[in-house]
Amino acid sequence: MTTVADSVSTANNIRDIALACRDAGTAIAALPTSAKRAALDAMAAALDAQAEAILAANAHDVAGATAKGQTAALVDRLRLDRARLDAMIAGLRYVATLPDPVGQITRRDVRPNGLIVERERIPLGLVAMIYEARPNVTADAAALCFYAGNAVLLRGGSEAIQSNRAIAGALRDALRGAGLPEAAITLVEDLRHETMMTLLQLNDIVDLAIPRGGPGLIRFVAEHARVPVIKHYQGVCHLYVDASADIDLALRLLIDGKTTRPAVCNALETLLVHAAIAPVFLPRAAAELTQRGVQLRGCERSRALVPAMQKASEDDYAAEYLDLILAVRIVDNPDEAIAHIRRYGSDHTEVIATRDETIAARFVHALRSAVVMVNASSRFSDGGELGLGAEIGISTTRLHAYGPMGAEALTIERFVVRGEGQVRHASSMLS
Amino acid sequence: MTTVADSVSTANNIRDIALACRDAGTAIAALPTSAKRAALDAMAAALDAQAEAILAANAHDVAGATAKGQTAALVDRLRLDRARLDAMIAGLRYVATLPDPVGQITRRDVRPNGLIVERERIPLGLVAMIYEARPNVTADAAALCFYAGNAVLLRGGSEAIQSNRAIAGALRDALRGAGLPEAAITLVEDLRHETMMTLLQLNDIVDLAIPRGGPGLIRFVAEHARVPVIKHYQGVCHLYVDASADIDLALRLLIDGKTTRPAVCNALETLLVHAAIAPVFLPRAAAELTQRGVQLRGCERSRALVPAMQKASEDDYAAEYLDLILAVRIVDNPDEAIAHIRRYGSDHTEVIATRDETIAARFVHALRSAVVMVNASSRFSDGGELGLGAEIGISTTRLHAYGPMGAEALTIERFVVRGEGQVRHASSMLS
């Protein structure tokens, strides 16, 4: 059996590795849906069969990270157990049930001259996924890229290298078992800085780089890449409670958005409250949040209503806390809320609570964020929740895909034109 | 009256200019279709009213380019006359008749929990158009970007600076007359190299850069940009004449593709002919092309059939001649044609002439080019011809837009979600 390490040693630089990966993608791009589904099921079975080795490899990574004094949060993101592995396996099987975007005809038009013009979805080509400590990204990203007909280069963090090697090895075993080129799923094992820099320059080979991780990683990739990049940057998500809001509804959105999973990008970071409703809403909100362990940081007017609240600084309004902290501000009208979001937001997800449809429409229309919600929790800003099936991340780049990205966002529409010999100039007719 | 030069002098660096342009775009993004149409008509009227000044400015540019010894081709691209100006004016009025992409709801889904999930087109934001000698791009790009709700930075070539200033000045007069912020259409008049470099780094302000011009310009932008780039690179377009082709049909496609406008990107550069049809097809093709002034460069087998043909080098197969020259190669089957196109092509436009639908499907499926034509001329690879109305260029970047780009490609889909207080976790319900 060829192991991942063996196959990597035959290609001794990242350009060769990327070329081999891209070339393997040609075979994946041409696969019928049934073959891709069978391969995904085989990948799931391989992860299950190699569970013991994967968990052992992960235990090494966890021990290493702990010994290095990494934070508890990082070690938690890194750790796999049987339940998390089962979730990865279920994820692969789930992707296999999604509609296949490749080959979809999205539009069809017959031109006056009889030309039939179709738009057809084809794979992007080679996707480079650049991520940090979560080893589940290795399987999740590989599955979505593969199903959308792409080759994928997986460049995870050094803390997770043993886990990623074991997971990618199992996925490649499944590819090989299905008679497919295993290089279509390639783990980059050379984690040197200069290798990453070279990878990010390969704009003749890599069609898209998707960085997922902390702001440092995203900024590094955005600064150094010559390949196209879709950033999955931070979510400074806002809830604006209008004067017209149903107070109980707004409280539920606030509690759900702030407290149920504060460490994720679709959690709320800032609460904006209309001055007319603040005297009723804010004290109740503060009570509900405080009993759930949330610390509030507010403007002077908020603090007049909730004296226990700390004072918010400018930095608080720009912060993605990812923690049980909430910035609060009272505004005098919806336009002030909109202006605040435009100034401090990250274009990720914003929510309005209102019973006034005109104000809701104005809020939606005035904001350019990837996801705007009316009377629904920011926590629904997620590919699965919004009907994409699975997601490879949430784009904050206003190009190609904006907001949650599913398999379809890993394809591109091209033109297929059918004619009967039409030419543009009559002079081309034969005499 | 404020002139363009005045308004530029108030913002003395490119970052401030870009920020002012982007901020002006906020007002454009919110305009109803009727207001955008009226503004485009006003821009057309302003070009017409200022025709004399525009043509005089252009005469200065032409004189300058001629004095500098620029090529006849460049001077021709640079030159405006009344007919070309009228075409620009008609183009503005035509864009105003297109469907408005902004605000279109492209998909709607009701989730099991009752959430209504819509995808809505919104403007990209700020588009930087980077181009060379053609002054008509100033009006064409401004019109499409404006209609799609975007602000646009226009950075044309130094040869065309007087023409561009006059054209952009007229467009901005019309914006101001309509009560709109004229900075939404901004000509970059500082043409220094370091200013362009700085512009290409403004990834917090510029949402998309579109370089249009020669390979040198495209490569420069691709290498130095930290802003997202969609390249409009070269078209090494192929016609493959299969053994099953209708010979007269294939000849028409060849003549139209090669001879009617050889200097454009959708002109044919290489002819691939199946060996079984070559003895009949190639001599006729050579006769038709030669009498139209085309020089042929072929493989040994082609030259055996058409002895007058020059010998083709490897470079010939990769060349975008943009001239009356055609590379020729005989292949033994469709797969060889596909392999040739994959190796030498630029993913722009490829054509097959065949009467066999299975072979046509195989050709389409195996190629990843932006436009693939069956029995139709490559010259139809154009936004207008394919039904987009107008085009801002033809993307050879497999991200966001691939192939001809119209107004829709200057927008992005985002999510708008409407609920009735749905939350993700039951624990968020109030007690």
Specify the CATH number for the domain of residue A344.
3.40.309.10
Tokens standing for residue A30: 């041409």
Instruction: Tell me if A404 is assigned to some domain.
Output: yes
pLDDT tens sequence across B30-66: 999 999 999 999 999 999 999 999 999 999 999 999 9
Interface of A with B in 187-206 (CB under 8 A): 203
CB contact under 8 A, B371 and A417: yes
Residues B303-313 have a mean pLDDT of: 97
Residues A279 and A340 in one domain: yes
Asked whether residue B425 is domain-assigned, the answer is: no
Q: Looking at residue B287, what is its pLDDT?
A: 97
What ipTM was assigned to the predicted interfaces of this complex? Answer: 0.93
Average pLDDT over chain A, rounded to whole? 94
Pairwise CA distance, residues B166 & B139, whole Å: 11
Note whether B421 contacts A375, CB cutoff 8 Å: yes
- Tell me what pLDDT residue A428 has: 87
Please report whether residue B424 resides in a domain. Answer: no
**pLDDT digit string (tens) for A168-186?**
999 999 999 999 999 999 9
Query: Hey, how many other C-beta atoms are within 10 angstroms of the C-beta on A106?
Result: 13
The helix/strand/coil state of A335 is: helix
Nearest chain A alpha carbon to B251: A430
Q: How far is A404 from chain B (nearest CA, A)?
A: 9
The predicted pLDDT at position A146 comes to 98
Set of chain B residues whose Cβ sits within 8 Å of the Cβ of A368:
29, 122-123, 125, 414
Distance CA B387, CA B379 (A): 14
The token duo for A193 is 């800085």
Q: Determine contact, residues A286/A307, Cβ cutoff 8 Å.
A: no
Q: Do B387 and A260 touch (CB under 8 A)?
A: no
pLDDT of residue B3: 44
In a domain, residue A389? The reply is no
- What residues contact residue B311 under an 8 Å CB cut-off, 6+ apart? B297, B298, B300, B303
Interface residue B403 vs chain A (CB under 8 A)? yes
pLDDT at B163: 98
Provide DSSP, A43-98: HHHHHHHTHHHHHHHHHHHHHHHHHTT--HHHHHHH---HHHHHHHHHHHHHHTTS
Give which of A61, A258, A254 is closest to A163, Cα–Cα.
A61
Separation in Å, CA of A228 to nearest CA in chain B: 7
User: Between A and B, how many residue pairs show a Cβ–Cβ distance under 8 A?
Assistant: 239
CA dihedral A132, A198, B399, B193 (to 10 degrees): 120
Q: What is the dihedral of CA A409, A22, A104, A99, to 10 degrees?
A: -70
| For A284, nearest residue in chain B (alpha carbons) | B430
User: Same structural domain for residues B367 and B271?
Assistant: yes
- Bridge partners of residue B412, in order along the sequence: B122
Any CB–CB contact under 8 A between A207 and chain B?
A: yes
Question: A107 with A417: CB under 8 angstroms?
Answer: no
Tokens of A192: 């040197």
Can you tell me whether residue B239 is helix, strand or coil? strand
- Same structural domain, B406 and B361: no
Determine the pLDDT at residue B52: 98
**Among A109, A386, A417, beta carbon nearest to B117:** A386
Separation CA B296–CA B277 (nearest Å)? 18
Find all residues with CB under 8 Å of A353, minimum gap 6, and list them.
A239, A240, A241, A242, A245, A246, A249, A250, A253, A375
Flag whether residue B347 sits within 8 Å of chain A, measured between CB atoms.
Answer: no
- Chain A residue at shortest CA distance from B259: A428
Residue A266 and residue A210 share a domain: no
Give the count of domains, chain A.
Answer: 2
Q: Which amino acid is at A10?
A: T
Helices assigned H by DSSP within A157-299? 161-177, 193-201, 215-224, 247-259, 278-290
A149 touches A122 (CB < 8 A)? yes
The answer to whether B248 faces chain A, any CB pair under 8 Å, is: yes
In a domain, residue A169? The reply is yes
CB contact (8 A) between residue A414 and residue B122: no
State the pLDDT at residue B1.
38
Q: With contact defined as beta carbons under 8 Å apart, do A378 and A267 qualify?
A: yes
* Interchain contact, B430 vs A259, CB within 8 Å: no
Residue A386 lies in a domain: no
The whole-number pLDDT of residue A31 equals 96
Q: What is the DSSP letter of B192?
A: -
Do residue A259 and residue A200 come from a single domain?
Answer: no
- The confidence score (pLDDT) of residue A12 equals 65
Same domain, B108 and B70: yes
CA–CA separation, B291 and A239 (whole Å): 71
Does A60 lie at the interface with B, CB-CB under 8 angstroms? no
Six-digit token string for A92? 């692969």
Helix (H) or strand (E) holding B376: strand B371-376
Which has the closest alpha carbon to A420: A119, A120, A103, A111?
A111
B293 — contact with chain A (CB < 8 Å)? no
Nearest-Cα residue of chain B relative to residue A125: B398
- Please indicate whether, in this complex, the C-beta atoms of B414 and A422 are within 8 angstroms of each other: no
- CA dist., res. A405 & res. A58, Å (int): 28
- The pLDDT assigned to A46 comes to 98
Q: Would you call A424 and B381 a contact, using CB atoms and an 8 Å cutoff? A: no
Which residues 70-109 of A are in CB contact (within 8 Å) with B? Answer: 109
One domain, residues B269 and B373? yes
Residues 6+ apart with CB under 8 A from B172: B4, B7, B182, B185
pLDDT for B299 equals 98
Pick from B416, B427, B429 the residue to mutate for testing the A interface (most A CBs within 10 Å). Answer: B416
The answer to whether A421 contacts B246, with C-beta atoms less than 8 Å apart, is yes
CATH number for A40: 3.40.605.10
Phi, psi of B153, rounded to the nearest 5 degrees:
-100, 125
B420 Cβ under 8 Å from any chain A Cβ: yes
- Neighboring chain A residues of B424 at a CB cutoff of 8 Å: 256, 260, 377, 379-380, 385
H or E element, residue B270: strand B268-274
What is the chain A residue with the closest CA to B415? A371
Task: Using a CB–CB cutoff of 8 Å, tell me whether B343 touches chain A.
Answer: no
Task: List, for residues B164-221, the tens digit of each pLDDT value.
Answer: 999 999 999 999 999 999 999 999 999 999 999 999 999 999 999 999 988 899 989 9
Of A207, A368, A418, the CB nearest to B125: A368
Q: What does the alpha-carbon distance between residue B163 and residue A388 come to, in Å, rounded to a whole number?
A: 48
CA distance A258 to chain B (A): 10
When the pLDDT of each residue in chain B is averaged and rounded to a whole number, the result is 94
Average confidence (pLDDT) over B249-260:
98
B103 in any annotated domain: yes
A255: nearest CA partner in chain B: B428
Cβ proximity of A134 and A77 under 8 Å: yes
Q: Is B338 exposed, middle or buried (0-12, 13-18, 19+ CB in 10 A)?
A: buried
How much is the pLDDT for B12?
Answer: 65
Chain B positions in Cβ-Cβ contact with residue A377 (cut-off 8 Å):
419, 422-424, 428
| Predicted confidence (pLDDT) per residue in B226-246, tens digit | 999 999 889 999 999 999 999
The answer on B58 and B204 residing in a single domain is yes
Distances in Å between the alpha carbon of A147 and those of A98, A406, B62? 9, 11, 54
Q: Quick one: which of A111, B397, A393, A205 has its CA closest to A401?
A: A393
Q: Hey, which residues does A422 pair with through a beta bridge?
A: B376
Quick check: is B197 in a domain?
yes
How far, in Å, CA of B272 to CA of B352, rounded?
Answer: 9
User: Is residue B180 less than 8 Å (CB to CB) from chain A?
Assistant: no
In terms of domains, do A243 and A206 share one? no
- pLDDT, one tens digit per residue, over A388-429 is 988 899 999 999 999 999 999 999 999 999 999 999 998 888
**Cβ separation A374–B229 shorter than 8 A:** no
> Angle at CA B413, nearest 5°, toward B411 and B416?
135
Please tell me whether residues A139 and A216 are part of one structural domain. yes
Tokens 């070539």, located at residue = B157
**Statement to judge: residues B159 and B300 lie in one domain:** no
List of chain A residues with pLDDT < 70: 1-12, 431
Q: Which tokens hold the place of A257?
A: 């958005």
Domain of residue A289: give its range.
237-380
CB spacing of A111 vs B398 below 8 angstroms = no
pLDDT at site B19 = 96
Q: What is the pLDDT of residue B49?
A: 98
Chain A residues with beta carbon closer than 8 angstroms to that of B259: 427-428
> Residue A257's closest chain B neighbor by CA?
B423
CA distance B158 to B60: 12
Same domain assignment for residues A196 and A92: yes
- C-alpha span between B92 and B100 (Å, rounded): 14
In this structure, how many other beta carbons lie within 10 angstroms of the beta carbon of residue A28?
25
Q: Which amino acid is at A365?
A: H
Nearest CA to B281 out of B224, B324, B315, B330 is that of B330
B105-110 vs B116-123, strand pairing mode:
antiparallel
Structure tokens at B333: 């089957």
Cβ <8 Å between A376 and B115 = yes
In this prediction, residues B270-284 reach a mean pLDDT of: 98
